[in-house]
Amino acid sequence: MLACRQVSKSYRTERGIVTAVAGIDLDVAAGRFAAIIGRSGSGKSTLMAMIGGLSRPSGGTVTIDGTDLWRLSDNALSEFRNGKIGYVFQFASLLPTLRLIDNVALPAMLGRRHGASGSYARAAGLLERMGLGGYLDAYPSEISAGEQRRVAIARALINDPALLLADEPTSDLDEQTESEIMDVLLTINREVGTTLILVTHNLALAEKAQQVVHIANGALVA
Amino acid sequence: MRLLANLALQNLGRRKARSFLLIAAVAIGSGVVFTGATLMRSIDDSMAVGFTRLGADMMVVPEGALTNITAALLTVEPTDLVLDADVLARASIASLGRIAPQKIVRVGHSGIGGHHDLVDLIGIDPARDFTIQPWLKEKLNRELRAGDVILGAGRDVPLGSQLLIFGKPHLVYGKLGRTGVGTHERGVFMSFATLEALTGSMPQHGDVRPAALSPGKVTGFLVELAPGATALQARFAILSAVKGAKVVTGDSSLSGIRQGLAALLQGILALMILMFASMAVMVSVLFSAIVTERRGELGLLKAIGARRAQLVGMMVIEAVIATGVGGVLGVALGVLVMRLYERSLVYYLDNIGVPFIWLDLPQTVAYAAAAIVLASAIGALGALYPAWRASRRDAYELVRGES
C-alpha cells in the first residue's frame, strides 16, 4: 500500500539548513492501522505531509499503490489526493462559510466524481453515519469541536479513499470525545478496510495500532 | 465553476466590512474615471465647437480688401479683389492649421428679402469650413449637397423649404444660431459649386461678373494656427510667401486659450490614468493581504484535491465580483454626478449661450461598459499574481501557516 524510501525533508532557514525528516524507510500494508508517534517537533507531521502529497520531500520516494506520488504532475497529484487520500487535520479544518453538508460534499464536487446530487447524497449519508444527520444545514460554528472533527472525518471519506491520514485528530479534545473519534476511525479501518495512519503523541492511542512507527529527531527509532 | 463562484461569494460575505470598503473604493475610483472620461469627452467636443465658433485666428485676404474685425469673429467682406484658391496650399506654411477658403458676393435683386435688399452670398468648401458650420443650430439630417443653402439667424425661412435665388430653386438645408455678426446674421451660405452655378442667373453689368465667382479664385481664407504656432510667425510666413496678400489677426488671446485648454485636458487624462493605475496597485496589495490571510483555507482546499487553476480561479472570481460590483456602482454614482452637473453648471452655461454637448448615448454606454470591464480587469489582475504565487506553495506549508 504505502512505501517510503529514504524520505527526507530539509528547510533552509536564516540559521542554516534544518533537517526535519532524515531518510526514513516505511512500509504500511493495505488495510492496516499504523500509528506514527514521537515528541513534538520530531518530524512526524512533516513525514505525514510527505506521505499525503502535501509537502514535497527534499529526497526519497513515496509510493502509494504503486504510484510514485512526487513524480506526478501538479494536476495529477491533486487528483490523486482527491481520490485516494483522506485527511483529518489536528485542527478544526472546516470552511466556516459552508454548511456541514457543503463541507463534506466539497472534495467530491472538486473531483467531479459523483455529480452534484450524488455528492450531496453521499455527504448526507456520511453525516448520518457520524450521528450528525440532524445538522446537515448547520454551520461549523454551531456545533462542538468533537462534532466538527466527525464532520472532518466524513469529508475525508467522501471519495472512498484507500488511505486515511489523521494528524493528531484528537489533540484538542477531551478524553470522552477523543475516545469517540478514535472509535469512528477504528471502525472505518476495520469495517471498510481503509488503511489508517495516525500521527499522535498519545501512547495509549498508539497501542491500538497494528504497527507503531517511532520517530525522534526526524529519524526512525529502532 | 459554479462551486468556485459560490465559494467566492461566501468569502466576500464572510468579511462584510472589508468587502464593502473594497467595493466602495473601486466604486469611487471607477466612478471618477467614468465621470471624468465622459465629461472630458463632452467638454472636448463642446470646446471644439465653442472654439471653432470663436472663428479663425487670422484671415488672409487680397491687399486692399475690406475686413470686419469683431472681438470674437473674423469675417471677410465682399470685394472684387481675389486670391488664387490654392495660394496657401502652394506656400505650404507649417505654422498654419486648418484653412477655410470663402467666396463672397454681395448681390441685389436676388429674390431674397426685399426688392432692394443687398444679400451676401457666401461660398464655402464644406469639407474645409470650420467657421460657419459650427454655428448650425438646425439642419437636415444629411450632408450639405449642391443646391442647398444655409441661412443666417436673421433670415426667417423654415428649414427644408424652397428658396428662390435669381429664380433658381434652392433648399434651406440649415440655419445658423445668433452670432451678432452682420455677415453671419444675414448671409446665405452655400457650397462653391452652388454659388458658381448662379453665375449665369445673375444680372450683369456689361460683361463684368464678380471675380470671386470664377473657379479657382476666392475672396479670402480664414485660418487657424497650428498647435504651438504664434500669429506673428504665421503672419511673416504668409507675407513672405504670398504676394499681394493682407493678413488680419483677431484676438490673439483666444489662440492661447485654445492651445492651453487642449494641454489641460491632456493633463487631466494623464491624471485619470494615474488614478486608475493606483487603484490597480491598491487592489493588488489588498488581495495579496487577503491571500496571505486565507492561506490556511487555500491549503485545505489544495489538500482535499483542488487544482491550482481552481484555487487561482476562486480568488480571481472573488476579486472580479467585488471590483465588478464596484465598477457598476461607480458608473451609477457617475451618472448621478453628471445629472447634478447637468442641472447646475450645464444649465448655467446653456443660459449664457455657451454650448455644452453631451457625449451621445451609445458612446456613454460604451464608456460605462469600459469602466466596469476595466474595474473587473483590475480585480482579476490584482488577485491573479498573489493567488498564483500561493497556489504554487505546498499545501502543508499553507495549512501550517494558518494553524
Q: A152-168 burial, b if ≥16 CB within 10 A, otherwise e?
A: bbbbbbbbebbbbbbbb
Considering only CB atoms, which chain B residues are within 8 Å of A13?
Answer: none
Candidate ranges A218-222, B76-80, B201-205; pick with highest mean pLDDT: A218-222
* Contact assessment for residue A198 and residue A205, using Cβ atoms and an 8 Å cutoff: yes
To the nearest whole Å, the CA of B318 is away from the closest chain A CA by 14
Nearest by CB to A81, which of B11, B297, B303? B303
* ipTM for this prediction: 0.91
Cα–Cα nearest to B80, from B92, B90, B95, B65: B65
Q: H-helix or E-strand containing B249?
A: strand B245-249
Residue B46's nearest CA partner among B375, B355, B400, B381 is B355
CATH number where A114 lies:
3.40.50.300
Does residue A81 sit at the B interface (CB-CB below 8 Å)? yes
Q: Is the pLDDT at B354 greater than 70, yes or no?
A: no
Instruction: Flag whether residue B328 sits within 8 Å of chain A, measured between CB atoms.
Output: no
Domains of chain B, by residue range, sit at 2-52+264-402, 58-249
Q: Which tens digits make up the pLDDT trace of B295-323?
A: 888 899 999 999 999 999 988 998 999 99
Could you tell me if B11 and B291 are in contact, meaning their C-beta atoms sit under 8 angstroms apart?
A: no
Residue B49 is predicted with a pLDDT of 65
B299 vs A contacts (CB less than 8 Å): 54
- C-beta separation of B327 from B30 below 8 A: yes
Residues B396, A55: C-beta atoms closer than 8 Å:
yes
Model confidence pLDDT, tens digit, residues B166-205: 889 999 999 988 766 667 778 899 999 999 888 888 876 5
User: Distance, in angstroms, between A110 CA and closest chain B CA?
Assistant: 6
Q: What pLDDT sits at residue B105?
A: 87
* Structural domain that includes position A46: 2-220
Chain-chain contact of A110 with B14 (C-beta, under 8 angstroms): no
In angstroms, what separates the C-alpha of B295 from chain A's closest C-alpha?
Answer: 12
**CA distance readout (Å), A81 to A3, A31, A151, B374:** 16, 18, 18, 37
What SS3 class is residue B72?
Answer: coil
Nearest to B51 by CA among B188, B253, B186: B253
Number of A–B residue contacts, CB under 8 Å: 75
Q: Is the pLDDT of residue A28 over 80?
A: yes
Nine-digit cell string for B367: 464608456
- Please check whether residue A119 touches B, CB under 8 A: no
Matching residue, cell 432692394: B116
Query: What whole-number distance in Å separates Cα of residue A107 and Cα of residue A86?
Result: 10
Q: Do B371 and B331 touch, CB atoms closer than 8 A?
A: yes
Nearest residue on chain B to A81, alpha-carbon basis: B305
Angstrom distance (rounded) from CA A23 to CA B198: 105
Please count the structural domains in chain A: 1
The span from the CA of A134 to the CA of A127, in Å, is: 9
- The side-by-side arrangement of strands in the sheet containing A163-167 is A85-88, A163-167, A195-200, A33-37, A211-216, A219-220
Side chain identity at residue A77, one-letter code: L
Say if CB B217 and CB B203 are below 8 A apart: no
